[in-house]
């Protein structure tokens, strides 16, 4: 008997059916011959351990039974003789669940194949018939944790139906009366929040989830596990289950019963959902109704962009083919026969090529070559050889061998419009001895860059660059050669892997990535405990998904790239190989067409199976993930590859250095650097100034263009999510509740509440006199009331007056101004603000409803501090909820007025309500302040704040989000640039005023980003609470406060950006004239501003003193 912890038979596709240890049992006779055992009358039982699997609590899905209906579940069984293990547990210990199972169609209470009764402490199962013991005895399990195990002999769909025993009991559905007073007479002013609205009625093709009802429904958990026993058939050469069946699974062991002996195995698995092509066809026909076209549109846009870019890069490929140059033979004496090949490589990045004339001299151990003019143009002509990405080959003939090449001197004459040159490396080959020497430069030959030199000697010691430069060199080269997306633009001219082929490979990578992401997107929804590394989280499921996606994407794309490269190599040799290269490239194009077509089609199929919201969510997450791969992951991979190779080369260089020290040799270094061209110092300085000026102009226009983009993005962030709807919403509320500013005493305030506020906030009658049954609307019938309107009062304590003795009888109590120290926070009061004494009976306390006579803290009322006219008012207070209709609100206000709710201790009454207009997706929060000063002065004011909720479905909001994302990217790019400048200039950085402007711009930009994130999180958090019950009061004050702070920050940032924009456009004549005028007249303007400020302040005080006693607009300087 042998037991394998792995599966030794993995060459057939049926290997996926094995997820346990493989057990092999052979019986032999005395002659050591195998005894063939099959068709036994009694089966042999084999027990094999299963692989350890961590099953999280979330994999046991929660469900609930609904009224008297069966709750159905579908189980798909792919193989015969599969063991179904049903783990069903009710949440309530007193509940009994009825379970029905049927093959092929949904069961009923009369027709089923299996019936079970499950309670918290017992499970009983009947087969075939319902509670009829003549057809079969029930099998009961005392252990409630034991799952129901059923053997599915046939593959197909099995349907499971559940309902609870209590669902058949007639329960009362009467609505609970809302009151605070037990069984006594209920006050009409005692209001509770309504229940959440019911789910909308189900219509055709609209799936609606059932709403949980705690009075009738019962929760339960369900986990379905499939088990099968298979054996390895040597005749069929695959895993089959003939003659084997599953007995049971217990404590991680699988019991199999078989009528023969061979290698056995089993598995417990959960099958993924396949593509339902019938649903795909139906969804295709209903695209106009469902609107699930996001993925189709994105794929169409990708293909359109591919065709557009294809036309562009095709022209570049044609130019590369035209500029294909043969090796250039340098002038040499006719008797020269010793041949050298010189390969000079120019950098691949922008402006790396040169228009200057290049000269070279080679130094060897046995001689030197003399000065070689590498540019073959006529004197005064512009050099076109050393352009970006070129590898130019030169053939040199000399009289004799130069020996070991020790160094080269190379330079240019700084001629032409773009003389700056980035030299990558020089390779010299000795054709006779097959030796080669490489000299790595990786530096600029330019007057305005680096060390400002245009000629230099490069010897063998230059090959040992410092570690940082070596990593940077290899990283740049790796991005140009191995990053498939960047290589489309940075392709080396000598490479035969064309831009069109690279672009097509990019298309294949993108579409196959979409396909792989869609394949495993649904599987990622399962929860698994993540492994956390600081702020990063990772789970094994994510790792497995990444590996599986890579196995789908990587092989086909690697094959396509290799075929394109091999085809290009074959085409470059001779005519016979050219045909082979064409054939190989054709195969690559066919594979690319196949991968793109299949990936695009199946991505669309998956999106049609999902709902519109799921498709859009998947699309956004996939595009973000793919952008991260291209911009972050791939460059990081190339960087670490470069880092690894640089480290290896550094180790080898150290070893070779030690070896050289142990075996010293005399090296001839008899060469000295001399100048190829004689230039005057004044000419060099003039050239350097000219080149620096060109570079500064180019840098200026680049900075100006990028800054204009940043200004545009800032304007889009500031104004893109704003329109006149906010003003119209505010004006609508103001016009609906007029004349509040005329309120000057308590009587007028009560009258305004009853005649203006109540009819304006609650839905009244229609224009024809009919009543409005939809009480959720406000008086204008356009907006919806969110939560409940209410009035909140803040009061102060009554304190003893500090007066002269003879005045104590006249002033027994004093009432100070509002402050948190003076605030009255008495927990209980009787109507009329009568104190509750120790002799109060419990039934009297029960009559303290409504709650306006009880103090409630800010946490309970969900209120935030507010600025008023006289003071800063904190949250909490004495709150009176006004209900949801005119009648209730009017009754409550009348009750408060009759019981003297407003008195001398009142300092402010805040009438608060929130509305939502679904047509413009704007939430309005209105607060009407009725304030009372300690002196008795009344002031009425209002604050109406609007909050635009995100309309994610509109194109304008999508454009706003794109601009916001790019704005955040620019902010962090500017932040990184200033950090680099600070590191470079140290303390000198802070001496420039322009740098301080940059600092303030970045600081306020970062604050705006942080405030946006906080505002969004606050809004989303409050909206989630509101979705639970739209009739409850939820405070949006924190989100509104964040929005106001964000507006202030954006205003300051706009001023700073405008100021910096003026500085950037300082070369404009008008801006230069304006700047010069301010600079010249600075002294005069300063003295004049002082005189102007004195006159302005005097005018303010004059208005306050003369008109302040009769006009509210002149009552203070701020007004």
Q: How confident is the model at residue 304 (pLDDT cuts 50, 70, 90)?
A: very high
Percent share of the chain, pLDDT over 70: 71
pLDDT mean over 206-226: 64
Over the stretch 413-446, which tens digit does the pLDDT of each residue have? Answer: 888 778 888 888 889 999 888 888 888 888 888 8
Mean pLDDT on 564-593:
75
Query: Mean pLDDT, to the nearest integer, of 361-389?
Result: 75
**Distance (Å, rounded) from C-alpha 899 to C-alpha 187?**
13
CA 219, distance to chain mean position in Å, is 34
Whole-number pLDDT of residue 482: 72
3-class secondary structure, 1068: coil
Least confident of 130-134, 554-558, 633-637, 701-705: 130-134
SS3 878: strand
In this prediction, residue 935 carries a pLDDT of 82
For position 911, what pLDDT does the model report?
92
| Residue 1092 pLDDT grade (very low, low, confident, very high; cuts 50, 70, 90) | very high
Q: Which is more confident, 236 or 710? A: 710
Higher pLDDT, 146 or 553: 553
DSSP assignments along 306-357, one per residue: HHHHHHHHHHHHHHHHHT--PPEEPP--TT--EEEEEEEEE-SSTT-S--S-
Say yes or no to pLDDT of 639 above 80.
no
Q: Residue 185's pLDDT is what?
A: 40
- 63-72, 241-250, 345-354, 996-1005: range with lowest mean pLDDT: 241-250
Q: How much is the pLDDT for 1090?
A: 92
Question: pLDDT, tens digit, for every residue of 995-1046?
Answer: 888 899 999 999 988 888 888 888 888 888 777 777 777 788 888 888 889 8
**pLDDT at residue 40, rounded to an integer:** 64
- Look at strands 139-141 and 829-830 and give their pairing: unpaired
Beta sheet of 123-127, edge-to-edge order = 71-77, 156-164, 97-103, 114-118, 123-127, 139-141
Per-residue pLDDT, 548: 66
pLDDT given for residue 439 in this prediction:
87
Question: Which of 535-549, 671-685, 816-830, 1104-1118: highest mean pLDDT?
Answer: 816-830
More confident residue, 231 or 19: 231
pLDDT band at residue 147 under the 50/70/90 scheme: confident
Note the pLDDT of residue 183.
Answer: 38
User: Tell me: the pLDDT tens digits for 491-541?
Assistant: 777 777 888 888 998 899 888 888 887 877 654 444 444 444 333 344 555
* 1008/1013 Cα distance (integer angstroms): 9
- Asked whether residue 407 carries a pLDDT value surpassing 80, the answer given is yes
Q: How many residues does the chain have?
A: 1119
Residue of higher predicted confidence among 480 and 535: 480
Give the angle subtended at the CA of 992 by the CAs of 991 and 994, to the nearest 5°. Answer: 155
Mean pLDDT for the stretch of residues 352-361: 86
For the cut 70, the answer to whether the pLDDT of residue 704 exceeds it is yes
Among 52-56, 263-267, 383-387, which stretch is predicted with the lowest mean pLDDT? 52-56
For residue 987, give every residue at least 6 positions away whose Cβ sits within 8 Å of its Cβ, in sequence order, or none: none
Average pLDDT over residues 868-879: 88
Lowest mean pLDDT among 755-759, 760-764, 772-776, 1068-1072: 772-776
Q: 759 pLDDT exceeds 60? A: yes
Q: How far apart are CA 910 and CA 930, in angstroms?
A: 6
5 pLDDT higher than 70? no
Residues 554-566, mean pLDDT to the nearest whole number: 84
- The answer on pLDDT for 761 being more than 90 is no
Report the pLDDT averaged over residues 123-135.
50
Residue 546 binned pLDDT confidence (cut-offs 50, 70, 90): low
pLDDT tens string 787-834: 888 899 999 988 878 777 777 677 777 888 888 888 888 888 888 888
Confidence tier at 171 by pLDDT (50, 70, 90): very low
Q: Mean pLDDT throughout 240-253?
A: 67
Reply yes or no on whether the pLDDT at 206 is more than 50: no
Q: What is the pLDDT of residue 292?
A: 80
% the chain with pLDDT above 90: 5
Checking if the pLDDT of 129 tops 50, the result is: no
What's the mean per-residue pLDDT of the chain? Answer: 75
Q: Hey, how many other C-beta atoms are within 10 angstroms of the C-beta on 904?
A: 14
- Rg over alpha carbons for the chain, rounded to the nearest Å, is 42
Which pair of structure tokens corresponds to residue 471?
């990593």
State the Cα–Cα distance between residues 868 and 845, nearest whole angstrom.
34
For 378, the token pair is: 């006529």
Q: What's the pLDDT score for residue 273?
A: 39
Task: Give residue 181's pLDDT.
Answer: 32
- Give the pLDDT band of residue 660 (cuts 50, 70, 90): very low
Q: Whose CA is closest to 66, among 171, 167, 159?
A: 167
Indicate if the pLDDT at residue 1086 is higher than 70: yes
CA nearest neighbour of 910 among 791, 787, 794? 791
pLDDT tens across 911-957, in order? 998 888 877 778 888 999 999 988 888 888 888 988 887 665 566 77
pTM comes to: 0.54
Q: Taking 80 as the threshold, does the pLDDT of residue 2 lie above it?
A: no
Lowest-confidence segment of 14-23, 276-285, 784-793 by average pLDDT: 14-23
- Alpha-carbon span 361 to 905, nearest angstrom: 99
- Other CB atoms closer than 10 Å to residue 445's CB: what's the count? 25
Task: Pick the more confident residue, 901 or 175.
Answer: 901
pLDDT of residue 59: 42
Most confidently modeled range among 56-65, 354-363, 569-578: 354-363
What is the per-residue pLDDT for 20?
A: 63
Closest Cα to residue 108, out of 157, 148, 150, 160? 160
CA 803 – CA 317 distance, rounded (Å): 98
Residue 643: strand, helix, or coil: helix
The more confident residue out of 492 and 168 is: 492
Q: Average pLDDT for residues 962-975, to the nearest whole number?
A: 86
User: Lowest-pLDDT range, 435-444, 591-600, 831-840?
Assistant: 831-840
DSSP H or E segment with residue 1053:
helix 1037-1064
Non-local (6+) Cβ contacts of 1091 within 8 A are none
Q: What pLDDT does residue 928 have?
A: 93
């Amino acid at each position: 008997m042998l037991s394998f912890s792995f599966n030794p038979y993995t060459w057939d596709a049926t290997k996926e059916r094995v997820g346990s240890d493989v057990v092999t049992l052979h019986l032999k006779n005395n002659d050591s011959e195998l005894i063939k055992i099959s068709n036994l009358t009694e089966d042999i039982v084999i027990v094999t351990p299963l692989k350890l699997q961590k099953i999280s609590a979330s994999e046991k899905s929660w469900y609930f039974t609904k009224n008297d209906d069966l709750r159905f579940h579908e189980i798909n069984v792919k193989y015969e003789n599969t063991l179904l293990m049903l783990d069903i547990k009710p949440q309530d210990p007193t509940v009994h669940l009825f379970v029905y199972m049927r093959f092929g169609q949904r069961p009923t209470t009369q027709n089923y194949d299996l019936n079970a009764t499950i309670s918290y402490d017992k499970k009983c199962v009947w087969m075939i018939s319902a509670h009829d013991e003549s057809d079969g005895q029930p099998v009961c399990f005392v252990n409630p944790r034991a799952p129901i195990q059923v053997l599915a002999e046939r593959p197909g769909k099995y349907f499971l139906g559940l309902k609870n025993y209590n669902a058949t009991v007639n329960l009362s559905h009467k609505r609970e009366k809302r009151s605070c007073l037990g069984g006594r007479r209920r006050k009409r002013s005692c209001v509770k929040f309504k229940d959440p609205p019911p789910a909308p009625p189900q219509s055709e093709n609209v799936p609606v989830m059932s709403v949980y009802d705690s009075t009738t429904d019962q929760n339960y958990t369900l986990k379905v596990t499939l088990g099968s026993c298979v054996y390895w058939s040597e005749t069929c050469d695959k895993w089959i289950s003939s003659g084997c069946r599953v007995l049971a699974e217990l404590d991680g062991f699988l019991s199999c019963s078989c009528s023969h002996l061979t290698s056995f195995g089993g598995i417990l698995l959960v099958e993924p959902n396949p593509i339902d092509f019938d649903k795909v066809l139906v969804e295709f026909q209903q695209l106009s109704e469902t609107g699930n076209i996001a993925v189709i549109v994105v794929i169409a846009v990708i293909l359109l962009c591919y065709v557009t870019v294809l036309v562009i890069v095709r022209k570049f490929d044609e130019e590369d083919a035209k500029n294909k140059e043969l090796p250039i033979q340098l002038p040499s004496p006719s008797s020269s026969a010793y041949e050298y090949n010189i390969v000079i490589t120019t950098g691949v990045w922008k402006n790396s090529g040169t228009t200057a004339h290049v000269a070279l001299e080679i130094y060897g151990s046995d001689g030197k070559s003399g000065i070689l003019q590498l540019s073959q143009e006529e004197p005064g002509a512009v050099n076109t050889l050393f352009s970006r990405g070129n590898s130019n080959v030169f053939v040199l003939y000399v009289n004799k061998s130069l020996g070991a090449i020790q160094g080269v001197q190379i330079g240019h004459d700084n001629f032409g419009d773009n003389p700056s040159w980035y030299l990558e490396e020089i390779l010299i080959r000795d054709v006779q001895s097959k030796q080669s020497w490489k000299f790595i430069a990786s530096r600029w030959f330019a007057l305005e860059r680096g060390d400002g030199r245009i000629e230099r000697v490069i010897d063998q010691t230059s090959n040992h660059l410092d570690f940082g430069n070596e990593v940077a060199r290899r990283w740049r080269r790796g991005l140009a050669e191995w990053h498939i997306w960047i290589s489309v633009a940075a392709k080396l001219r000598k490479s035969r892997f064309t831009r069109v082929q690279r672009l097509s490979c990019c298309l294949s990578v993108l579409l196959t990535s979409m396909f792989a992401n869609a394949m495993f997107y649904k599987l990622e929804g399962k929860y698994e405990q993540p492994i956390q590394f600081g702020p990063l989280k990772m789970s094994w499921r994510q790792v497995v998904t990444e590996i599986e996606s890579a196995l789908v994407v990587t092989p086909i794309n690697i094959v396509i790239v290799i075929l394109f490269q091999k085809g290009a190599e074959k085409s470059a040799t001779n005519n016979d190989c050219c045909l082979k290269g064409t054939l190989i490239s054709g195969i690559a194009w066919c594979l690319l067409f196949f991968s793109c077509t299949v990936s695009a089609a199946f991505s669309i199929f998956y999106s049609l199976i999902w709902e519109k919201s799921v498709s859009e969510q998947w699309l956004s997450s996939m595009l973000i993930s793919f952008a991260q791969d291209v911009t972050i992951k791939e460059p990081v991979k190339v960087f670490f590859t470069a880092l690894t190779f640089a480290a290896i080369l550094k180790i080898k260089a150290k070893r070779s250095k030690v070896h050289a020290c142990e075996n010293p040799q005399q090296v001839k270094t008899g060469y000295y650097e001399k100048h190829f061209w004689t230039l005057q110092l004044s000419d060099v300085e003039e050239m350097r100034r000219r080149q620096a000026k060109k570079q500064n102009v180019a840098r200026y226009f680049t900075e100006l263009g990028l800054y204009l983009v940043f200004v545009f993005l800032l304007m889009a962030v500031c104004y893109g999510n704003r329109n006149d709807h906010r003003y119209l919403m505010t004006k609508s509320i103001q016009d609906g509740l007029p004349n509040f500013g005329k309120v000057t005493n308590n009587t007028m305030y009560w009258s305004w509440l009853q005649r203006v506020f109540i009819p304006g906030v609650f839905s009244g009658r229609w224009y024809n006199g009919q009543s409005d049954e939809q009480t959720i609307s406000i008086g204008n019938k356009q907006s919806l009331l969110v939560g409940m309107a209410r009035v909140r009062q803040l009061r102060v304590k009554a304190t003893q007056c500090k007066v002269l003795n003879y005045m104590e009888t006249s002033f027994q109590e004093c009432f100070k101004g509002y402050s948190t120290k003076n605030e009255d926070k008495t927990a209980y009061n009787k109507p009329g603000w009568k104190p509750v004494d120790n002799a109060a009976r419990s039934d009297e306390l029960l009559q303290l409803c409504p709650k306006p006579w009880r103090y409630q803290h800010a946490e309970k009322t969900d209120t935030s501090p507010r600025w008023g006219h006289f003071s800063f008012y904190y949250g909490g207070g004495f709150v009176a909820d006004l209900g949801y209709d005119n009648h209730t609100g009017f009754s409550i206000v009348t009750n408060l007025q009759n019981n003297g709710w407003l008195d001398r201790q009142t300092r402010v009454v805040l009438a608060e309500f929130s509305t939502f207009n679904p047509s413009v997706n704007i939430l309005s929060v209105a607060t009407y302040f009725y304030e009372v000063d300690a002196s008795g002065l009344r002031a009425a004011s209002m604050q109406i704040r609007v909050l635009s909720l995100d309309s994610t479905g509109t194109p304008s909001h999508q454009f706003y989000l794109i601009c916001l994302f790019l704005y955040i990217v620019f902010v962090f790019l500017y932040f990184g640039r200033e950090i680099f400048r600070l590191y470079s200039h140290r303390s000198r950085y802070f001496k420039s005023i322009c740098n301080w402007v940059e600092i303030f711009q970045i600081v306020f930009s970062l604050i705006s980003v942080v405030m946006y994130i906080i505002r969004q999180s606050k809004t989303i958090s409050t909206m989630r609470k509101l979705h639970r019950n739209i009739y409850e009061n939820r405070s949006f004050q924190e989100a509104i406060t964040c929005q106001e702070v964000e507006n202030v920050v954006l205003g300051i940032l706009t001023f700073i950006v405008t100021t910096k924009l003026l500085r950037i456009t300082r070369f404009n004549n008008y801006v230069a004239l304006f700047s010069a005028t301010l600079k010249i007249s600075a002294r005069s303007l300063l003295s004049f501003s002082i005189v102007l400020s004195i006159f302005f302040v005097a005018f303010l005080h004059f208005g306050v003193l003369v008109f302040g006693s009769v006009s509210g607009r002149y009552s203070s300087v701020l007004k």
